Amino acid sequence: MSPELGGNLAQVALGLGLFSFGGMTALAVSNFLRRSYGAKHEAIPTVSSQNAAMGAAALEDALEENETLFREIAQTTPVPVVISDFETGEFKFYNVAAVRLCREKLGFDISKRRTLDIWWTPEDRNAYVSAISKTQKIAGQAVAVKTDDGEKYWLEAFATVIDFLGRKCILTSLLDINDRFQAEQALRHAKNTLDRAQRITEMGSWEWNIATDEISWSDQIYRIFGYEVGAIDPTFHVFLQHVHEDDREMVQAAVKRALEDRAPYDINHRIVLPNGQIKILHEQGEVEYDQNGAPACMLGAVKDITDICETEEALRRSQVTLSGILNISPEAMIVTNEEGRITIFSAGAENIFGFSAEEVIGRRVDCLMPERARARHRDLVKDFGASQTASKQMGERREIIGCRKSGQEFPAKASLSKLQTPDGTYFTTILRDITEEKKHEAELTEAKKKAEAASEAKSAFLATMSHELRTPLNGVLGAAQILKTQNLDASAGEWIEMIRDSGENLLLLLNDILDICKIEEGTLSIAKQEFDLQQLFESVIAPRRLLADEKAVSLKMNTTLGDVHYEGDPKRIRQILTNLVNNAIKFTDQGEIVVTAKIEDSDGASMLVCSVKDTGCGVPEEAQAKIFDRFVQVQDGRSRMHNGAGLGLAICRELVNAMSGSMSLDSGAGQGSVFSFEIPIKPLRAVGSAKPPKDTERSPLSNGEARPAPFFAPSVLIVDDQFVNRKVIGSFVRAFGAEIHEAESGGEALERCKKTAFDLILMDIHMPMMCGQATLAKIRSVDNLNKATPVVAVTADAMVGDREKYLDSGFDAYLSKPVNAAELKNVISEFVPLADSGADKIAV
């Protein structure tokens, strides 16, 4: 045992007197101490100057003489003292105060429970032992022990580690602080509750000691001022430094008045946080006075009202905005309560209804509508108020009828919304007078009718003009084709060629105009049929090489289309290609024209990519933006460079767009042009493979019976009221090796059908007395020799839908005028065999 520890035990013995050490007396303790120190030390260290010179024997005598006195001290000391084994917790000593503490406060007899486990669980005891092991002592630590019923009881412990009877022990003295601890806990809880409340309400409290100028802030005030709790030492001077400079004088004046007038103050002011942020505070303060009536301190509270002020400012701006809207909006804005009484009536409402706001506020809103509509209106508003719908927009409500102050009724549309407030439900109606709209609608409806009538008139005009122009063109072009086969001199041949070219140009222009009309009306249709794409390109390029050769321009074709049939619209593709090649020839005076075409794959789809490149005059950059517009041509100075209506490229682009493709131009003045287009196209089968079997049905009335092929020259009846048409068509048919019969009216055709069985009938449509459709119906319905004879509609009707119309009405085929010999031959050969002799005599 160390001298220091021996001295500690001696001090314990001197201070506490005679203890019960399991039967050992203080004398035994001193003998133990003497045995422990005798060999090494001449004297045992002591704790007072009075016994500093005393040896071990003298100490023993002193202890023995005062044993009775020390016993009295131990019995009367109020401080519980225990000595427990460091490892096991077993009590080695406890005094009377410890016995009384356990019995009266903790509810058990310490003499029957001789271990620290009676105070706490082994885990808590181990934690206590661990804590004392680190510093060898504990001075004034609050510890919780358990009572007999398991409750916590708080003590303050003073402990040190000692060597007692050869064992490491803990000497502990205890103070009962349970009441104080509970009070402190309650105080801390109250403080935390207050702090939470202040944090939630953003309100803090303060106390200012006027004499010392010290201010005590609650935690929330630190947070309001932008500091960590305790980060600064607040004084009135420090507080003023944080007040916004524009408000500082006002705050000082308020405090001064409170001190002088003995009255609390209540002000709003701004503060500036360390980061420069500005907050608005609501502050209240009142003065407390000492017994002499002098100001001693000031107490106050501070609330952060920045958000409230911003909300109030936003509300103010909103009210200003609402007021402005109510004053300037031309629409009526009306607010009503649950009873349907008007609370707000805007300037727009005043203008629409003719009432002033003062006249209608407080009245029921149905005063603004006719008597007959009021009950229905109340029911609608009642249902709307009970529904979950928050608002009904203009388009969600029927038109309503309003009534002005003058009694005049007017149509209106309204949106309705509801708002739940503490004062109840309010309804807001925004109403628009649609008198002018209804007027405009009526005008638009009338204009639409007129436009539709004009469109119909235009279509009728175009149909009539198309028919009337095609009929003479049929004679002109047909006669030109026939004359071309005659043995004429060179001069006559040139004139015949001029007639033919002029007629074909006129027909091309007519077709272009009709295509434009179809595009405008949205009736342009794109066919889907099988065709040979390579053959189509060759049929377009081959006859135009002669035209190019006449200008000493080389026309080349470079195609990689493969030996495949495709599905698409061959007529429209031919039209696009023909137009581009014709333009290239027209605008190229020297050099070459190269037509390129190939099939490319784009995202799994086949695309026909085609370009027509020429070395002609090119298109100036400023003209390229409009080159695809209608009736636009490239011009040189004051004159057009070439003839034409300027419709070709516009139609080409529209056709390409209709086929879901694209078209472009790459050109420059004097640099030639490259017109390109690409359209989707579907490959079907290899050229030369078997085609699907062709339908042999000729007419709905043929009962599926195919007419046997005639053994001799086929007999063809031509029905047309125009002599020229019969003459031209008859010449064509006769050249094909057929026998010709003519009828100039539907009635005559019926008479002939009763007497003669024909192999084919070519029927005009527009004929006096009985049209071609009526004649066909008679032929199919009346017993005659031609009930199942194929009938082809040969007509000048070439508007969109005409082909389908006549096929649907029972015709077996359709052919538009002016008739081309080659097309006529193809149509006839579908129904009857033609002799080869004479077929090539017609210029096709």
Q: Would you state the pLDDT for residue 835?
A: 65
Please, which residues have CB within 8 angstroms of residue 434's CB and are 6 or more apart in sequence? 399, 411, 412, 413
Local structure of residue 235 (DSSP, 8 states): B
Average pLDDT, the chain: 78
- Provide the CA 541 distance to its chain's centre, in angstroms: 53
List, in sequence order, every residue forming a beta bridge with 676; answer none if it has no partner: 611, 664
Assess contact for 6 and 36: CB atoms under 8 A: yes
Assess contact for 764 and 722: CB atoms under 8 A: yes
Scanning 590-665, the segments in alpha helix (DSSP H) are: 621-624, 648-658
Average pLDDT over residues 769-790: 88
Please, which residues have CB within 8 angstroms of residue 798's CB and are 6 or more apart in sequence? 466, 470, 511, 514, 816, 817
Phi/psi of residue 170, nearest 5 degrees: -120, 120
User: Cis before residue 818, ω within 30 degrees of 0?
Assistant: yes
Local structure of residue 707 (DSSP, 8 states): P
Q: Would you state the pLDDT for residue 491?
A: 67
Q: Would you state the pLDDT for residue 623?
A: 77
Give the C-alpha distances (Å, rounded to integers) separating 832 from 4, 353, 738, 761, 828.
142, 81, 9, 11, 6
State the pLDDT confidence band at 426, using cuts at 50, 70 and 90: confident
Give the C-alpha distances (Å, rounded to integers) separating 114 from 82, 88, 109, 148, 809.
11, 10, 9, 14, 122
* Angle subtended at Cα 394 by Cα 390 and Cα 396, rounded to the nearest 5 degrees: 65
Does residue 194 surpass a pLDDT of 90? Answer: no
CA-based max dimension of the chain: 176
Count CB atoms within 10 A of the CB of residue 201.
12
Does residue 418 surpass a pLDDT of 60? Answer: yes
What confidence tens digit (pLDDT) does each residue in 436-451 have? 888 998 889 888 888 7
Does residue 4 surpass a pLDDT of 60? Answer: no
Q: Which amino acid is at 643?
A: N
Q: Is 711 exposed, middle or buried (0-12, 13-18, 19+ CB in 10 A)?
A: exposed
Q: By mean pLDDT, which of 108-117, 426-435, 766-775 is the weakest?
A: 108-117
Q: Which one has a higher pLDDT value, 714 or 399?
A: 714
Assess contact for 476 and 496: CB atoms under 8 A: no
CA-nearest of 87, 85, 88, 91 to 19 is 91
Q: By mean pLDDT, which of 5-9, 54-58, 206-210, 305-309 is the weakest?
A: 5-9
Give the C-alpha distances (Å, rounded to integers) separating 766 from 506, 630, 796.
22, 32, 9
Please, which residues have CB within 8 angstroms of residue 184's CB and are 6 or more apart in sequence? none
For the chain, what percent of residues have pLDDT higher than 70? 74
What confidence tens digit (pLDDT) does each residue in 388-397 have? 665 555 445 5
How is residue 188 written in tokens? 């801390």
Please, which residues have CB within 8 angstroms of residue 490's CB and are 6 or more apart in sequence? none
List, in sequence order, every residue forming a beta bridge with 591; answer none if it has no partner: none
Q: How far apart are CA 712 and CA 758, in angstroms?
A: 12
List, in sequence order, every residue forming a beta bridge with 142; answer none if it has no partner: 156
Q: Would you state the pLDDT for residue 354?
A: 92
Count CB atoms within 10 A of the CB of residue 491.
8
Q: Would you state the pLDDT for residue 760?
A: 93
Q: Would you state the pLDDT for residue 387?
A: 73
State the pLDDT confidence band at 61, using cuts at 50, 70 and 90: low
Q: Would you state the pLDDT for residue 668?
A: 82
CA-nearest of 591, 594, 527 to 558 is 594
Tokens 């004679």 correspond to what residue? Answer: 475
Q: Would you state the pLDDT for residue 157?
A: 85
Whole-structure pTM value? 0.40
Q: Would you state the pLDDT for residue 138?
A: 83
Does residue 51 surpass a pLDDT of 50? Answer: no
Phi/psi of residue 454, nearest 5 degrees: -65, -40
Q: Would you state the pLDDT for residue 25?
A: 37
Assess contact for 725 and 703: CB atoms under 8 A: no
How is residue 744 written in tokens? 């100039």
Q: How far apart are CA 797 and CA 57, in angstroms?
A: 152
Does residue 717 surpass a pLDDT of 90? Answer: yes
DSSP codes of every residue in 284-348? EEEEEE-TTS-EEEEEEEEEE-HHHHHHHHHHHHHHHHHHHHHHH-SSEEEEE-TT-BEEEE-HH
Q: Which of 34-48, 86-100, 217-231, 305-319 has the highest mean pLDDT?
A: 217-231
Q: Is 489 exposed, middle or buried (0-12, 13-18, 19+ CB in 10 A)?
A: exposed
State the pLDDT confidence band at 32, using cuts at 50, 70 and 90: very low
DSSP β-ladder status, 715-719 and 739-743: parallel
DSSP codes of every residue in 150-163? S-EEEEEEEEEEEE
- Provide the CA 444 distance to its chain's centre, in angstroms: 35
Q: By mean pLDDT, which of 402-406, 674-678, 832-836 is the weakest?
A: 832-836
